[in-house]
Structure 1
Amino acid sequence: MAGNSASLLTKTQRNRIRDDFDELVEEKKRRDQQRIRERIRSGLFDFHLLADYPDRQFALTFDETPDDELRTALADTTLVVERLRELHGIDRAEVIEEARTRAETVSDATTGTETLSRVELRTAAEIRRETEAEVKERVGTGRWDTRADRLAKLGASAFIPLALIGIFDWYVSGNLLGATAPVSSLLMAILAVSMIGWLLIVAAQALKHDVLPAFRKLMRNPEAAVRGAVTNLFEDPKETLRESWEEL
């Protein structure tokens, strides 16, 4: 817990927040809130200096702090960071990309910051892709993926002989389609059913994994969702195409 040493908030300000500014007239309450906002803003920008602070100093800073207290403090810090990000409509992926750039920059320019290379900074999309890859590797292809693959193969197996019959009828015999009408009709039916089934499965998967999550994100924070989509599409189109190809 915060002690008596200098901190982001003064002892009086901490007491004010704990007491929810009780027993203060409105003018004094607004003045204290303004001062707290200024200290929060200044304290947040101080982390620019701490990004490459030596690991040894961080270790000594919390050397006597119990793990449960430190864990709670880190959890509260994470909540504050996430709330600030949400309030200002900043996409989490943008923050992570910026943090990656900062980590690479400061780790190359300073020493004693080995933890920077061990920090895992991954976007939600990257985590999802890695999780899907791990699950597929562990349990194999999903049931619906297997069904879609079988339907695609069934459609291909019907299309190839149907195409050969059509080519042979066009170039060699003008009556082959008529002579093989029952077989051709069966092949066309198989092709149609398999392709419709494949499209339905793919559409359902896209709806579940792509459309609905994007819609929920748009409803929760439209500005951040639109900005993130535009950024991903236009800032690095090659990377966007590469990721899309890998997700196929």
Structure 2
Amino acid sequence: MLNRGTLLLLLIAITLGGGVLLFENSDSAERARNADETVGEAQGKPLLPFEESAITRFTLSRSNQSDLAFVKDESGVWQMSAPEETIAEGGAIAFLLSQITRPSNRVITAESNNLVDFGLEDPEATITLEATASEAEKHTYQLLLGGADFGGDQRYVQVIELMGQADATSSDENSSNEEVDSANLVEAEESSEMEIHLVSGGIANAIERPVPDWISNEEGEATDSTTQP
């Protein structure tokens, strides 16, 4: 039988052990909450401040390849305007636009002189697009595609607003707005910090399609049907 002293020590040990366990559980829960908050702060945001449907034209420039240019006609059908004029492949356009209008996975704030660390000093591709957010407001943006992250399944993207202005009713107002936009752009470029988005690697797949994949085969099918006996 345990004597009174041993029993007392045993009770003290159990009490202390329970207290330590309770403290560790509480501390773990607190760390988990803090981690969740940190992840929330690091969550991404939309690359562009408008919907996919607002984009009316864009140019895709890729290293060592001809530029591709597209414009949406009045009926909402995408047309390729360069390197040739033809109907664009709607699926390829839709996939690319969905990639650049969805929220990024994370936003990183970095010094402007560290572009090389993200593969953005000499980007693999540049998308220059125009969008009509409303009847009176138009925007021009550039998206620069940088390198892959450490895991290789995400890409760095920098977004630059080149112009954002309401339609003016006179050439003087247009000129004034353009001067303001140019000044804002220079100021943004000289800023010591910049935002870099980390996005899904799907954007690279959307951009790296060969030229024939951007052209619809509808015209070809129509031509074949008219030449067949």
What TM bracket, shorter-length normalisation? under 0.3
Q: Return the structure number with greater helix share.
A: 1
Under a length normalisation based on structure 2, what TM-score does the superposition of the two structures give? 0.20
Name the TM-score, length of structure 1 as normaliser: 0.19
Bigger relative CO (Cα 8 Å, ≥ 6 apart): 2
